[in-house]
Amino acid sequence: MTQSASKILDAIRKLILETDNRIYEKQPSPVQQISFESAKSTFSQAEIDFDDAGREAAGMTDAEFGYTNLAFLLSDQCGPVITAAVFKDVTQQSIIGRRVFNGSLFSQIHEAREFLDALNQTTETFEKYERVNRRDYPAEAIEEAILNAVLHRDYATGSGILIKVFSDRMEFISPGGLAGGLVMEDILSGYSLCRNPALMALLARLGLATSAGAGIPGITEAYRSFVTQPKFEATPNVFKLTLPNRNALKGTSAANTALTPEERLREYIQENGSISRKQAEQLLGMSQTATGLVLRGMVDRNELIKEGNSRNIRYFESKY
């Protein structure tokens, strides 16, 4: 058995030992008087019966106490919400819109998907001398990002999912770090250990999600031909996924990888007037430290001019 496989098995055993009979989905719902209009519609569309036997098989009821937390999450009275905030540019200084999606998780997923789809603009561009209409974000990446946040969220914390939409990226922030002792390298390799297995199994059965752990690999595959890649970050308490806007940073396609970092920065500044440190990181697909070294070198050689301070620093082309 390989070291990675052994690590995964240890993580699974740990999760089972720590959460068996105490896992959030199996615990009693805080509210027993709940309705399921959204759930009934979703089950009906999948041609699955939403009767007592169906709810019990899904883990929504328990013979001892009635409705479980899983039933609460799928009910119209679901407490945890998804909040989306839209900002004017690449910073959080100017918010231009905010939406809160509540009710059944089925409704939240559907409404969040529709909201983000409406913001996902199409831009006409040219690739290999051919005119191409390209959306800001791959639709499948947005879909997987929403599902990933919903499925792997730690609902026991009571905190909500937060989606931030900037001019150059979307950020999906969900409470709860990686489950069962997994590390980021495991997740990026395609391993998946869901914190809410009953919810994942039900969404897979309804045709709304895959239970094969293909979410994050699917997101990276959607950006395969672009230099600027999605970013995955995890702390013990939070998981954050950042999707780059493919049309916000011109020259990010694989065809431009032949240019040096300095040439790509100059090309972007000539087309857009200036660039921020964060934009430069995403354009180059490099770390903060490496990007800083490139920018500092261009400033020292008088190729760029740095203006502003703190978070408002921008780089302009030198005219001298």
Q: Over 67-86, what HEC string results? A: EEHHHHHHCCCCCCCEEEEE
pLDDT of residue 83: 97
Residue 272 confidence class, pLDDT cut points 50, 70, 90: confident
- Chain centroid to Cα 193, Å, comes to 17
32 plus 174 within the same structural domain: no
95 plus 230 within the same structural domain: yes
Nearest to 26 by CA among 65, 86, 70: 70
**pLDDT top residue among 38 and 294:** 38
Percent of the chain clearing pLDDT 90 (strictly above): 45
In a domain, 138, yes or no: yes
Percent of the chain clearing pLDDT 70 (strictly above): 85
Residue 126 confidence class, pLDDT cut points 50, 70, 90: low
pLDDT of residue 224: 83
CATH number of the CATH domain containing 305: 1.10.10.10
Mean pLDDT of 167-196: 82
Residue where a domain stops, chosen among 57, 74, 91: 74
13 plus 133 within the same structural domain: no
Backbone angles phi, psi at 89, to 5 degrees: -135, -140
**pLDDT top residue among 142 and 289:** 142
Crossing angle, helix 105-119 and helix 37-45, to 10 degrees?
70
Beta bridge partners of 99: 84
97 plus 239 within the same structural domain: yes
pLDDT of residue 84: 95
In a domain, 301, yes or no: yes
In a domain, 18, yes or no: yes
pLDDT exceeds 90 at position 213? no
217 plus 270 within the same structural domain: no
User: For the chain, percent helix, then strand, then coil, each to nearest 5?
Assistant: 45, 20, 35
130 plus 219 within the same structural domain: yes
pLDDT of residue 242: 96
292 plus 184 within the same structural domain: no
Nearest to 15 by CA among 4, 27, 5, 23: 23
Mean pLDDT of 118-133: 75
Residue 251 confidence class, pLDDT cut points 50, 70, 90: very low
pLDDT tens string 225-244: 787 889 999 888 899 999 99
173 plus 144 within the same structural domain: yes
Residue 257 confidence class, pLDDT cut points 50, 70, 90: very low
Q: Which domain holds residue 19?
A: 3-74
Q: Which of 116-125, 176-185, 302-311 has the lowest mean pLDDT?
A: 176-185
